[in-house]
Copies of this chain bind each other. A is one copy, B any other.
Amino acid sequence: MSEATSQTTNQAASQGAGGKKYGQLVSEEAILKSLDRYFPNHQKEGIALGRGDDCCLLTSTKPLAVSSDLFIEDVHFRTAYATAEEIGHKALACNISDLAASGARPLCFTMNLGLPSSVERGWLNDFFSGMGALASRYSVALVGGDLSKSSKLLVSVTVFGEENSRTGFLTRGGSLPGDVLFVVGTVGLARTGLHVMEKDGRQAASSWPHACKALLSPEPKVDAGLILARAGQNARPPALMDVSDGLARDLPRLLGMQGEKHPLGAELLLPAGALHREVVEWCRQNGRNPVHEALLGGDDYCLLGSCAPDMLQSLHAAIPELWELGVVTDSGHIMCNNECIDDLHGFDHFSA
């Protein structure tokens, strides 16, 4: 049915955020040439055949962690205020963040790309450039994928990570009452960025630089994930996940609170003073509760985990960005600063 491509009226992708002007439309040949420029199809241990055939061939002898995510225009990002480089960066960063949460070492990725007919060559080069810079930083090779027309710009990435030196992978399971809950990174800052950019567009970045950067250019916590996996090698491993839908929604997932007969709970201590000053300031200006904003979060891409209390000190020393969020309980409820927040829900794509 490939010939029956839909007519698209979408023009957003051709209007560069940040004042850039783009011209020429893309052809398939131009896209493939551009891919080769930004994603060298080089040899790498564990990859016997890269992109260009029906399948890529992976010959890593190590166990693999695999994650796959969608990144869709006007659902996950807007071309009106995110630059092409930022969109390319974030499309891959969100996926690498899942590898970080498993304590895996990034190996390679596939990318399926849906492009509106209005997308322009220069925009696409910048998109590849932003993604390619991140790929190169973590030495992840682009090993395959697919190109298609699409009414909205869409990116579907699948990432592959290897086990690092027989440390094993980390998962969400295994928290026990009394364990310490910790976070690596910030919470709520990207949500503030979303608020201000949805309202004021790109110009919000001058008043709220950290919040906008947190939204547009999240940095996956790969090194922290590897350190946490190593910490679990000769002890009870930390439970770990990345926070993409907000603490309030993701913490119950870490604790396996859905459908359990005797669910765990948590007691959190999250003073507003511990939050980023841009979160606090935006809440002050807009009459919002900064702690609730931080808990609702969304797009944080921090790591959330729990570990035995005696592991904490060495983790603090090894991961400067790590901070204590609270403790795991057996109450079946999540309390934050003595308030029950069971009914504070993070983001759900399909809720009314």
Number of copies: 2
- Report the Cα distance A31→B350, complex, angstroms: 10
Cβ–Cβ < 8 Å partners of A77 in chain B:
1
- Is the Cβ of A147 less than 8 Å from the Cβ of B350? yes
Which chain A residues numbered 306 to 345 have a C-beta less than 8 Å away from chain B? none
Digitize A16-47: 1 where CB-to-B-CB distance is under 8 Å, 0 elsewhere: 00000000001110010000000000000000
Sample of 21 A–B contacts (CB below 8 Å): A1-B78, A1-B194, A2-B76, A2-B245, A4-B78, A6-B75, A53-B171, A53-B241, A54-B241, A55-B67, A57-B169, A58-B64, A58-B65, A59-B63, A66-B144, A68-B146, A70-B148, A70-B156, A74-B151, A149-B349, A150-B152
- Is the Cβ of A26 less than 8 Å from the Cβ of B350? yes
Interface residues of A (CB under 8 A from B): 1-6, 26-28, 31, 48-49, 53-59, 61, 63-70, 72, 74-78, 98-99, 101-102, 104, 110-115, 143-152, 154, 156, 158, 160-161, 169, 171-173, 194, 198, 215, 240-242, 245, 298-299, 347-351
Q: A104-B55, A348-B28 are in contact. Are A68 and B2 (CB under 8 A)?
A: no
Cβ–Cβ < 8 Å partners of A61 in chain B:
61
- Report the Cα distance A172→B169, complex, angstroms: 35
Q: A4-B78, A6-B74 are in contact. Are A58 and B63 (CB under 8 A)?
A: yes
Q: A147-B349, A152-B152 are in contact. List 16 more A-B contacts (CB 8 A).
A: A1-B76, A1-B194, A3-B298, A4-B78, A55-B66, A55-B102, A55-B104, A55-B169, A57-B63, A57-B66, A57-B169, A64-B64, A66-B144, A110-B158, A148-B349, A154-B154
- Is the Cβ of A68 less than 8 Å from the Cβ of B110? yes
Q: SS class of chain A's interface: helix, strand, loop or mixed?
A: mixed
- Report the Cα distance A92→B49, complex, angstroms: 23
Residue of B at shortest CB range from A156?
B156
- Report the Cα distance A149→B352, complex, angstroms: 12
- Is the Cβ of B69 less than 8 Å from the Cβ of A112? yes
- Report the Cα distance A26→B348, complex, angstroms: 12
- Is the Cβ of B298 less than 8 Å from the Cβ of A2? yes
Residue of B at shortest CB range from A246?
B2
Residue of B at shortest CB range from A216?
B1
Cβ–Cβ < 8 Å partners of A99 in chain B:
55
- Is the Cβ of B58 less than 8 Å from the Cβ of A66? yes
Cβ–Cβ < 8 Å partners of A151 in chain B:
74, 151-152
- Report the Cα distance A169→B146, complex, angstroms: 21
Cβ–Cβ < 8 Å partners of A172 in chain B:
53-54
Cβ–Cβ < 8 Å partners of A56 in chain B:
65-67
**Minimum-distance CB pairs A-B, first 10:** A156-B156, A55-B65, A6-B74, A54-B101, A28-B350, A68-B110, A55-B102, A158-B158, A54-B98, A55-B67
Residue of B at shortest CB range from A10?
B151
- Is the Cβ of A57 less than 8 Å from the Cβ of B64? yes
Contact of A194 among B4, B48, B351 (CB under 8 A): B4
Q: A54-B172, A156-B156 are in contact. Are A215 and B350 (CB under 8 A)?
A: no
